[in-house]
């Protein structure tokens, strides 16, 4: 098979498949090369299956707190393999949906491993055999990323898991230790804790969820402690040794205290590295910086006609960032639409632990570090009628404004369904709204979103319900 296209996309994750569909909509003859599963990490091993798991742990938590609502359920229990099976079924359903969408949009899907092979050319192989040589004036690399490995603590799939094994456990572990407290580590910590495991989180930085606002990190830390988790910050895992019952994990805390923690399994969630190997970058002008392809605001690499999007290009490692870049990149190539380089301060980030965390824009510390004089609003969900009615009043909404212009610089939320609500503030950031429009916006009652309004009011000394 040898064929000429207008665009070749290498990698069928939320970056690649969205780019391919948009290109086809814009009239480009498009080929997509995918070596494993359409939908990429997100649909198969990331966003979607974890949310199916977290739905199960949320239900388990609810079943164990039913008395607060006047119900009784004797001895609620679950079939762990059914929980895992449902998560895999959800992933399979969505991956199948992507296949259908690509077909509907007349994108040619090529099954195999793609690599640049000279100007305008992608060579595709499968199990060592040649599959196709494709040519196009434009090539988008969307090969994604994989789990970073700590030297000496290499995942073996049995005692030390990456996110892949953590999604397919053979049995429900009674105890586990999570190394790393970014979104991925914290979601697994929350899932296993709510399913009944004894969970320890070890984070090398001085707080968990280190990219979030400090107050939000502190809020989640306290919530996790109340839930019975052990959270060690400023701590380093030195060694994982195999024992008869699982693992003995040596942890060194701030100040030099060394302890040994016995667990059944360890989840390593210490970051992400880009899939830059074996994609034909050698001999090209594509630059790689610490495992990520360097691009400009329109996703162009240093090699004419070669673009890169999504996790391959570095943080934030988020599916919606990958998809947005896919559309932006294709629209810039065709020149048919006005495009704006991506602004990371307008990309919301969500962590689906209990309580949920969501944010957009600058933290208070980052805003101050950038020289802004800030006004800060805070509203605790204990002052929100809907949160109390739901029985979930644990939460905080924090807003950060530029004191002189009133621009909303950042919003930081912890509490029920904040991952659904953050979009309100994301729109405010994109539209460059100030406190004036937000104050004059009417929020429906009773909703959790009223707390978003109250946080803005608080920043300007007008809060009503605290």
Ligand X SMILES: Cc1cc2nc3c(=O)[nH]c(=O)nc-3n(C[C@H](O)[C@H](O)[C@H](O)COP(=O)(O)OP(=O)(O)OC[C@H]3O[C@@H](n4cnc5c(N)ncnc54)[C@H](O)[C@@H]3O)c2cc1C
- Token pair 């296209």 is at which residue? 5
CA distance 183 to 116: 33
Nearer to ligand X, 219 or 352 (CB): 352
DSSP 57-109: HHHHHHHTTGGGGT---SS----HHHHHHHHHHHHHHHHHHHHHHHHHTTPEE
Which range, of 23-31, 32-40, 242-250, 336-344, touches ligand X by CB under 6 A? 32-40
| Distances in whole angstroms, Cα of residue 191 to Cα of each of 204, 318, 396 | 21, 20, 21
Catalytic residue among 64, 100, 340, 445: 445
Does the active-site annotation cover 453? no
- Determine contact, residues 448/421, Cβ cutoff 8 Å: yes
Tokens of 10: 């290498």
- Determine contact, residues 4/63, Cβ cutoff 8 Å: no
Site track 184-223 with ligand X (rule: CB under 6 A), x = hit: x---------------------------------------
Question: Quick check: 142 binds ligand X (CB under 6 A)?
Answer: yes
Question: Quick check: 355 binds ligand X (CB under 6 A)?
Answer: no
Nearer to ligand X, 11 or 169 (CB): 11
| Element of type H or E holding 259 | strand 258-263
Provide the pairing of β-strand 265-268 with 272-274.
unpaired
CA distance 61 to 391: 13
- Determine contact, residues 147/155, Cβ cutoff 8 Å: yes
Sole binder of ligand X in the list 5, 7, 9, 11 (CB under 6 A): 11
Question: Quick check: 13 binds ligand X (CB under 6 A)?
Answer: yes
Minimum distance, C-beta of residue 273 to ligand X, in the bound complex (Å): 11
- Determine contact, residues 217/394, Cβ cutoff 8 Å: no
Minimum distance, C-beta of residue 421 to ligand X, in the bound complex (Å): 16
Nearest one of 15, 109, 42 to 330, comparing CA atoms? 15
Which range, of 45-53, 84-92, 98-106, 439-447, touches ligand X by CB under 6 A? 45-53
- Token pair 């069928």 is at which residue? 12
Question: Quick check: 318 binds ligand X (CB under 6 A)?
Answer: yes
Minimum distance, C-beta of residue 418 to ligand X, in the bound complex (Å): 13
Question: Quick check: 12 binds ligand X (CB under 6 A)?
Answer: yes
Sole binder of ligand X in the list 192, 317, 401, 425 (CB under 6 A): 317
Which range, of 81-89, 208-216, 311-319, 354-362, touches ligand X by CB under 6 A? 311-319
State the CB neighbour count (10 A cutoff) for residue 179.
Answer: 24
Sole binder of ligand X in the list 29, 35, 198, 239 (CB under 6 A): 35
Provide the pairing of β-strand 160-161 with 198-203.
unpaired
Q: Is the dihedral of CA 402, 406, 409, 415 positive or negative?
A: positive
The total number of residues written for the chain in this structure: 466
Minimum distance, C-beta of residue 310 to ligand X, in the bound complex (Å): 2
Question: Quick check: 410 binds ligand X (CB under 6 A)?
Answer: no
Which range, of 89-97, 142-150, 195-203, 220-228, touches ligand X by CB under 6 A? 142-150
Which range, of 61-69, 108-116, 400-408, 441-449, touches ligand X by CB under 6 A? 108-116
Which range, of 63-71, 304-312, 376-384, 407-415, touches ligand X by CB under 6 A? 304-312
Sole binder of ligand X in the list 23, 26, 28, 42 (CB under 6 A): 42
DSSP 370-417: TT--EEEEEEEGGG-HHHHHHT----EEEEEEETTT-BEEEEEEESTT
Question: Quick check: 274 binds ligand X (CB under 6 A)?
Answer: no
Which residues, in sequence order, are bridge partners of residue 399? 377, 411
Question: Quick check: 10 binds ligand X (CB under 6 A)?
Answer: yes
Sole binder of ligand X in the list 144, 314, 348, 410 (CB under 6 A): 144
Minimum distance, C-beta of residue 136 to ligand X, in the bound complex (Å): 15
Q: What angle do CA 406, 370, 271 make, to 5 degrees?
A: 115
Minimum distance, C-beta of residue 13 to ligand X, in the bound complex (Å): 2
Q: What angle do CA 117, 120, 126 make, to 5 degrees?
A: 40
Nearer to ligand X, 110 or 367 (CB): 110
List contacts with ligand X (CB under 6 A): 10-16, 33-37, 40-42, 45-47, 50, 113-115, 142-145, 163, 184, 275, 279, 310-312, 317-320, 322
């Amino acid at each position: 098979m040898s064929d000429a296209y207008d665009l070749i996309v290498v990698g069928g994750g939320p970056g690649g498949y969205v780019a391919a569909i948009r290109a086809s909509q814009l009239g480009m003859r498009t080929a997509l090369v995918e070596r494993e599963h359409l939908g990429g990490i997100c649909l198969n091993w990331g966003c979607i299956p974890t949310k199916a798991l977290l739905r199960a742990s949320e239900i388990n938590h609810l079943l164990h707190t039913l008395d607060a609502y006047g119900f009784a359920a004797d001895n609620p229990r679950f079939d762990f393999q059914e929980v895992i099976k449902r998560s895999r079924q959800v992933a399979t359903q969505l991956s199948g949906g992507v296949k259908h969408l690509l077909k509907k949009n007349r994108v040619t899907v090529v099954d195999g491993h793609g690599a640049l092979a000279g100007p305008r050319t992608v060579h595709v192989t499968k199990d060592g055999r040649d599959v196709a040589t494709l040519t196009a004036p434009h090539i988008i690399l969307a090969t994604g990323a994989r789990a970073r490995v700590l030297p000496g603590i290499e995942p073996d799939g049995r005692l030390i898991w990456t996110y892949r094994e953590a999604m397919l456990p053979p049995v429900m572990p009674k105890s586990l230790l999570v190394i790393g407290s970014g979104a991925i580590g914290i979601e697994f910590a929350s899932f296993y804790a709510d399913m009944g495991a004894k969970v320890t989180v070890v984070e090398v930085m001085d707080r968990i969820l280190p990219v979030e606002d400090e107050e939000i990190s502190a809020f989640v830390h306290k919530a996790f402690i109340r839930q019975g988790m052990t959270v060690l910050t400023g701590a380093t895992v030195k060694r994982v040794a195999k024992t008869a019952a699982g693992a003995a994990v040596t942890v060194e805390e701030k100040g030099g205290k060394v302890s040994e923690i016995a667990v059944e399994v360890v989840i390593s969630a210490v970051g992400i590295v880009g899939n830059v190997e074996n994609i034909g970058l050698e001999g090209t002008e594509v630059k790689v910086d610490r495992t990520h392809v360097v691009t400009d605001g329109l996703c162009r690499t240093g090699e004419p006609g070669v673009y890169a999007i999504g996790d391959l290009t570095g943080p934030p490692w988020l599916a919606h960032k990958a998809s947005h870049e896919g559309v932006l990149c294709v629209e810039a190539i065709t020149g048919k639409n006005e495009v704006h380089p991506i602004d990371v301060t307008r990309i919301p980030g969500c962590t689906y632990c209990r309580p949920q965390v969501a944010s957009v824009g600058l933290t208070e510390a980052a805003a101050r570090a950038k020289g802004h004089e800030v006004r800060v609003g805070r509203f605790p969900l204990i002052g929100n009628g809907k949160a109390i009615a739901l029985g979930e009043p644990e939460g905080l909404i924090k807003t950060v404004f530029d004191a002189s212009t009133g621009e909303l610089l950042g919003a930081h939320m912890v509490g029920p369904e904040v991952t659904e609500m953050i979009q309100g503030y994301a729109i405010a950031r994109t539209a460059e709204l100030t406190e004036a429009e937000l104050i004059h916006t009417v929020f429906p009652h009773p909703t959790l979103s009223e707390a978003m309004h109250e946080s803005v009011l608080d920043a300007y000394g007008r809060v009503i319900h605290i």
